[in-house]
Chain A
Amino acid sequence: MKIAIPVENKTLEANVSTVFGRANYFLIYDTEREESVFVDNLAQSSAGGAGIKAAQTVVDQKVNALLTPRLGENAADILEAAGIKIYQAINASARKNIDAFGDGKLSLLDEVHAGFHEHGDN
């Protein structure tokens, strides 16, 4: 299966990013082939709705699960609509999270954050 993790750097040792919508990259990890790919998060510079665009990127990678420390409401809706399971990441490297996920130690994310509404340019 394929999992996505928001990260700050393009290595498996990179820490999980605390901000899903504004993470630098998404690590797309294939658990069967043990292969990793890093995709740029184009949402990073968005004025608003970064979570949506980031979620779209993750959905387009056809992943089965997302590991993230936190997530906005809108992004969660999109990921759920796409049938992607969302797990609560631990504050550690991407690799540690992949291992923890493989061992079944991560729980589903149950707390979703209301987004910051940015409409100052109205």
Chain B
Amino acid sequence: MKIAVLSGKGGAGKTLVAVNLASVAKKSTYIDCDIEEPNGHLFFKPQAVREEEVAVLIPQVNHDLCDGCRRCIDFCRYNALAYIKERLIVLAELCHSCGGCNLVCPQNALAEIERPIGKIQTGISDPVTVKTGFLNIGEASGVPIIKQLLAGLETTADSLTIIDSPPGSACNVMESVKEADYCILVAEPTIFGVHNLNLVYELVKLFNKPFGVVINKCLETENPAEKFCVENNINILARIPFDRELGLLNSNAEIAVRKKEEYREKFSALLNTVAKEVRHEAAAYSQR
């Protein structure tokens, strides 16, 4: 079972939910796809960390062979190539690694070389396997890192994978939810919270994913996020009350369910609710 945890903006409680959900399972994998600012590992403090580099292929020019015909430039729809002062130049950050320029070059002047864009760390915080993606600063797209993070995941019914998605609704986020069986949208009970919730709500609808909402920092007062969910017929999985102790644990990068039984019970209940939803979806699907 693969569950993606999303929010329209950072700070809504996405990492809180993802980290604690992963921690209540008997065994789980937590994957931090928030590659520009991964922070789940700060909570888990994983041990025995292995690191692998993530690279993309970009063209490299052999200037002796290149005759300046510019066919590669005309081909590249991302405009990642230019011909300046009798030399072909590659704008590495714009290249999408399609390999097309290489194919169209009549002089065989292009070869592919690896360009590192980030890394993946894998470690253990028993019983959670923690995988974290890091995108190098200044890189435009982290999609290749997210692809590699999610490649070759186990998909047995009783294995749990929690995917901590990047905030927002850009292509990084889409990549992170593609493989998920279920999406949890984390929202704050404010007008801004509703705006951000709507962003990810549109996204999961687009991908036709089953989903539910967790409302974080709930007070007794009026709750626009709750109203939004009722109006749109969205399932509210849990309401996490505004709680100083929980807030403090979280801001100290502690995993609440490892500190207090009460929180363990609450997050276990949430995980059970989600598991039921997923089974229900699977059953409904097989009957279609």
CA–CA, A99 to B84, complex, Å? 29
Option from B83, B85, B141, B143 in Cβ contact (under 8 Å) with A56: B83
| Distance between B5 CB and nearest chain A CB, rounded to angstroms | 22
Option from B82, B85, B91, B141 in Cβ contact (under 8 Å) with A122: B141
A78 interface residue per 8 A CB criterion: yes
The reply to whether B94 and A122 contact each other, CB–CB distance below 8 Å, is: no
Residues from chain A with a CB closer than 8 A to the CB of B94 are: 48-49, 52, 74
The reply to whether B96 and A119 contact each other, CB–CB distance below 8 Å, is: yes
CA–CA, A49 to B73, complex, Å? 12
A50 interface residue per 8 A CB criterion: yes
Option from A47, A55, A77, A122 in Cβ contact (under 8 Å) with B77: A47
Residues from chain B with a CB closer than 8 A to the CB of A63 are: none
A117 interface residue per 8 A CB criterion: yes
Interface string of B243-276 (1 = CB under 8 A from A): 0000000000000000000000000000000000
| Distance between A38 CB and nearest chain B CB, rounded to angstroms | 22
The reply to whether A122 and B79 contact each other, CB–CB distance below 8 Å, is: no
| Distance between A84 CB and nearest chain B CB, rounded to angstroms | 10
The reply to whether A56 and B82 contact each other, CB–CB distance below 8 Å, is: yes
CA–CA, A56 to B170, complex, Å? 29
Residues from chain B with a CB closer than 8 A to the CB of A78 are: 82, 84, 89, 91
B140 interface residue per 8 A CB criterion: yes
The reply to whether A49 and B84 contact each other, CB–CB distance below 8 Å, is: no
B80 interface residue per 8 A CB criterion: yes
Interface string of B126-159 (1 = CB under 8 A from A): 0000000000000011010000000000000000
CA–CA, A46 to B79, complex, Å? 8
A–B pairs, 20, beta carbons within 8 Å: A46-B77, A48-B78, A50-B79, A52-B82, A52-B94, A53-B79, A55-B82, A56-B73, A56-B83, A59-B82, A74-B93, A74-B94, A77-B91, A78-B89, A81-B84, A81-B85, A81-B89, A119-B96, A119-B140, A122-B175
Q: A48-B94, A56-B84 are in contact. List 10 more A-B contacts (CB 8 A).
A: A48-B77, A48-B79, A49-B80, A49-B94, A53-B79, A56-B82, A78-B84, A78-B89, A119-B143, A119-B171
